[in-house]
């Protein structure tokens, strides 16, 4: 029976997307799940999958784990995603976001493994979002450049590949210190703080569970090419903050509108990205939750005393 199962290896399984992917794939009888991350396993559940420590920046580590576990598909979620850190630590950013992909591309080409590379809306300059898969990237941050460089490596290699781009992912992960806009707004308002939120950046925020489902649909079909996987609604961070306050019945008057010029950040942000999802909806059957449904799903996962 087990011989027909599709073997899917996930890099970065300790991260938000990685955790959601492992959880989703464990519900699929037809998949054998291989979770990998650079350190110890931090997943909140231990059963039903294989775990290996694997350093994506070390070709020997990649070779050893991939040869041992023999995946048919690799979903590469591991990356350095803090946009400002990437701007300040360019060498480390390039090593994790580009050089690691070079190693993966070489191994996947040689062993005929389908490689799904997870990318970002930050490959675009944000002058005229929302974007389709055909639009021409033009990054304005080092993070964006590193992701675009890796995309080009994948596209121009002799292997079977997909590129899954996404936008502003939010969700609840175990054992992770990183917050997101919903948690930050909720916590700030509950503590009685006044917050400033920008109105001049537009995104289509993505529930982590939706992104995991998009990645699974691509992996299951080994669907080739670029896919835009995000939420469907164009919102500013201010819109997101107001909706969060309304959902949790918190004081909206503590939220002040501002613009990006008020914040000094090392890396530039594209003003208007967001995705047009027609391709993913039609070819994959992808159906994202609304932003309010996303908040509700997150709320159901929060600790009761939160």
pLDDT digits (tens, 9 = 90+) for 223-238: 999 999 999 999 999 9
- Is the distance from CB of 153 to CB of 93 less than 8 angstroms? no
- Is the distance from CB of 241 to CB of 253 less than 8 angstroms? no
Mean local confidence (pLDDT), 178-184: 89
CB count within 10 Å of CB 246 equals: 12
pLDDT for 99-130, tens place per residue? 999 999 999 999 999 999 999 999 999 999 99
- Whose CA is closest to 195, among 179, 177, 181, 178? 181
Q: How far apart are CA 77 and CA 119, in angstroms?
A: 8
In this prediction, what percent of the chain has a pLDDT beyond 90? 94
Kind plus residue range of the DSSP H or E element containing 130 = none
Instruction: Evaluate if residue 57 carries a pLDDT over 60.
Output: yes
pLDDT for 259-296, tens place per residue? 999 988 999 999 999 999 999 999 999 999 999 999 99
Instruction: Evaluate if residue 2 carries a pLDDT over 50.
Output: no
**This model's pTM is above 0.95:** yes
pLDDT of residue 178: 72
Q: How far apart are CA 44 and CA 174, in angstroms?
A: 6
Q: Specify the DSSP class assigned to residue 4.
A: G
pLDDT of residue 222: 98
What residues are paired with 53 via a beta bridge?
Answer: 37
**Between 178 and 52, the higher pLDDT residue:** 52
Mean local confidence (pLDDT), 4-28: 97
Instruction: Evaluate if residue 176 carries a pLDDT over 90.
Output: no
Mean local confidence (pLDDT), 171-192: 90
At residue 4 the predicted structure's pLDDT band, cuts being 50, 70 and 90, is confident
SS3 assignment, position 222 = coil
pLDDT of residue 1: 45
Instruction: Evaluate if residue 71 carries a pLDDT over 60.
Output: yes
pLDDT of residue 175: 74
Give me 277's structure tokens: 């999802």
CATH class of residue range 2-172+206-231+273-290? alpha beta
CA 175 to chain centre: 17
The 10 Å CB-count burial string (b at 16+, else e) for 123-136 is bbbbeebbbebebe
Instruction: Evaluate if residue 306 carries a pLDDT over 80.
Output: no
């Amino acid at each position: 029976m087990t011989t027909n199962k599709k073997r899917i290896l996930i890099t970065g399984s300790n991260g938000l997307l990685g955790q959601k992917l492992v959880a989703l794939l464990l519900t699929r009888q037809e998949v054998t799940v291989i979770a990998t991350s650079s350190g110890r396993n931090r997943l909140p559940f231990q059963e039903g999958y294989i775990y290996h420590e694997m350093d994506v920046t070390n070709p020997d580590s990649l070779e050893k784990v991939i040869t041992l576990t023999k995946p048919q598909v690799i979903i590469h979620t591991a990356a350095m995603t803090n946009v400002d850190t990437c701007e300040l630590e360019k060498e480390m950013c390039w090593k994790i976001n580009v050089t690691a992909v070079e190693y993966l591309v070489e191994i996947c080409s040689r062993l005929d493994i389908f490689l799904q590379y997870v990318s970002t809306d930050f490959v675009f300059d944000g002058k005229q979002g929302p974007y389709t898969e055909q639009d021409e990237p033009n990054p304005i941050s080092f993070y964006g450049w590193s992701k675009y460089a890796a995309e080009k490596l994948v596209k121009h290699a002799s292997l079977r590949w997909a590129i899954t781009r996404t936008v502003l992912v939010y969700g609840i992960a175990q054992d992770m210190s990183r917050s997101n806009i919903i948690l930050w707004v909720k916590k700030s308002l509950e503590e009685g703080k006044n917050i400033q939120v920008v109105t001049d950046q537009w995104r289509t925020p993505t529930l982590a569970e939706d992104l995991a489902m998009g990645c699974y649909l691509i992996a299951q079909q080994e669907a080739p090419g670029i896919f835009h996987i995000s939420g469907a609604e164009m919102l500013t961070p201010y819109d997101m903050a107001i909706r969060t306050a309304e959902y949790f019945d918190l004081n909206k008057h503590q939220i002040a509108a501002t613009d990006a010029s008020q914040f000094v950040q090392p890396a530039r942000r594209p003003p208007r990205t967001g995705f047009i999802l027609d391709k993913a909806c039609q070819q994959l059957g992808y159906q994202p939750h609304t932003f309010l449904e996303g908040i509700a799903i997150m709320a159901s996962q929060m600790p009761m005393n939160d």
